[in-house]
Amino acid sequence: MADAGAPFRIEGDTGEWEVVVGLEVHAQITATASKLFSGAATAFGAEPNTQVSLVDAAMPGMLPVPNKECIRQAVRTGMALDAKINRWSRFDRKNYFYADLPQGYQISQLYHPLVGEGEVEVLVDDKDDSSAKTIGIERIHVEQDAGKLMHDQHPTMSYVDLNRSGVALMEIVSRPDMRSPAEAGAYLRKLRAVLRYVGSCDGNMEEGSMRADVNVSVRKPGDEFGTRTETKNVNSVRFVMQVIEHEARRQVELIEAGGTIVQETRLFDPDKGVTRSLRSKEDAHDYRYFPDPDLLPLELDDAFLEECRGSLPELPDAKRKRYEAQGITPYNAGVLTAEVETARWFDALLDAGAEAKQAANWVVAELFGALNRRGESIENNPVTPAAAAELLRLVADGTISGTIAKQVFEIMLESGEGAAAIVEERGLKQTSDTGAIDAEIDRILAANADKVEQYKAGKQALFGFFVGQTMKAMQGKANPQVVNERLRAKLG
């Protein structure tokens, strides 16, 4: 995979090529337990065809009724993406035949979507603020999902599961503003984070509640856009990036061999890391769109829009800026805001009295390291924010050293005990007793007379050796500041 910080270029026989990428993200509105036009449930993993209403099955005479909460969540999502909210929008019928589409059409929005233009700012490289880029959003429209075909081992049979039929989707259509797999990955991660902060979609790509159609074309830098292909239903950020790299290289090789790119729909094979042709790409007129005669237009009033905006939480960018203003490094602020659960836990830590910069360093280095070792997430972390704040206060006020704090934290993880109780019961308090510290320093200097001479001759790096030996001799309980002061006094 190409370096995130470098321009993504494909070197062909005829020179450099540039990739042009747009994403159509289908995000299920998981904030509601019912479908877009019926009251049927949407729980993942249910037995086939157990969550299907007469509307979902397209029984004669059944009429759709819009789910207000689905509309509300789509509007909130649009607001979070700084997008234009259209007060008047309309549903259309998109006509096509699939075995898992009982109506023979999908209720979607083409001409008058609920949400118009917006944007997402991404950091292509989390450690480099100069890698920021704004990706335009063309529209967000609301539509119903189709069912699912399940293919038996028998070569002539497939089964239809309509549990997903009618599930509410937001289709978030980007502009073709991305120029590398890394940019597309950053965009998809940021979009997922915003959806999860808002609460409109859980972003679970493995379960299919968020998936992407990947539009890829190539051109010589500065030329007109080339013919694009669309790779359907890609269900991970890593796979999206693989699709872009594979498709770009495939298209360049085909063009330079004298071939022509065909506008088509493709599928991704994650085992082989390649795409393959599925069908020719349809245009809008092929679907014979027309206004759905069973549904009135949606008209949003001021009170509804004000409630939607007032319900939005602090979003990732605003939270990150707030953290940075508290002295947290841009990198740590980015890590802490990447997942909504992490940000909530960290905010609770600050509310419990922890100092922001110290807390951020500890969470990123110590807490995340421990959770990774234990295979745990921050939601089921056995150490509460209040308990962590107590531990950090003991370090800040000099009761224990940073070294001892690591030992205390490990005990907290295993036992669930509080930091102060652990320190008291095990006698782990830090000492500033200059008499005890001086005695250990004298012993160490006497045992390392040769190194003392080298230090006095100018080898200043040995000072760290003496500090380390003193701390080791005192089992990490000596106050590091006092140790440094006494060593400097004795070494002259």
Q: What is the DSSP string of 235-283?
A: -SHHHHHHHHHHHHHHHHHHHHTT-----EEEEEETTTTEEEEEEEPPP
| Ramachandran angles phi, psi of 442, nearest 5° | -60, -40
Residue where the block lists tokens 């397209």: 58
Q: Are 19 and 216 in contact (CB under 8 A)?
A: yes
Residue where the block lists tokens 């609301």: 142
* E strand residue ranges, 39-84: none
pLDDT of residue 476: 76
Helices (H) and strands (E) in the chain, counts: 16, 16
pLDDT of residue 2: 45
Q: How large is the angle between the packed helices 385-396 and 402-415, nearest 10 degrees?
A: 160
**Three-state secondary-structure class, residue 433:** coil
Cross-strand bridge partners of residue 95: 105
Instruction: Pick out the chain residues at pLDDT < 50.
Output: 1-2, 5
pLDDT of residue 433: 67
pLDDT of residue 460: 87
Cα–Cα distance, 175 to 284 (Å, whole number): 17
Which two tokens mark 11?
A: 């070197």
pLDDT of residue 342: 97
pLDDT of residue 330: 93
Q: Give the pLDDT confidence of 60-97 residue by residue, as tens digits.
A: 999 999 999 999 999 999 999 999 999 999 999 999 98
pLDDT of residue 477: 76
Rounded to a whole number of angstroms, the distance between the first and last alpha carbons of the chain is 54
- Closest of 405, 404, 417 to residue 359, by C-alpha: 405
Burial of 47: CB neighbours in 10 Å, binned 0-12, 13-18, 19+:
exposed
For the chain, domain boundaries = 18-306, 314-426, 434-491
Which two tokens mark 453?
A: 């001479």
The dihedral over CA atoms of 35, 40, 43, 48, expressed in degrees to the nearest 10, equals -120
Q: What's this model's pTM, rounded to 2 decimal places?
A: 0.86
| Topology of the domain covering 434-491 | Arc Repressor Mutant, subunit A (1.10.10)
Triad 89, 117, 94: Cα angle to 5° = 45
Cα–Cα distance, 336 to 339 (Å, whole number): 7
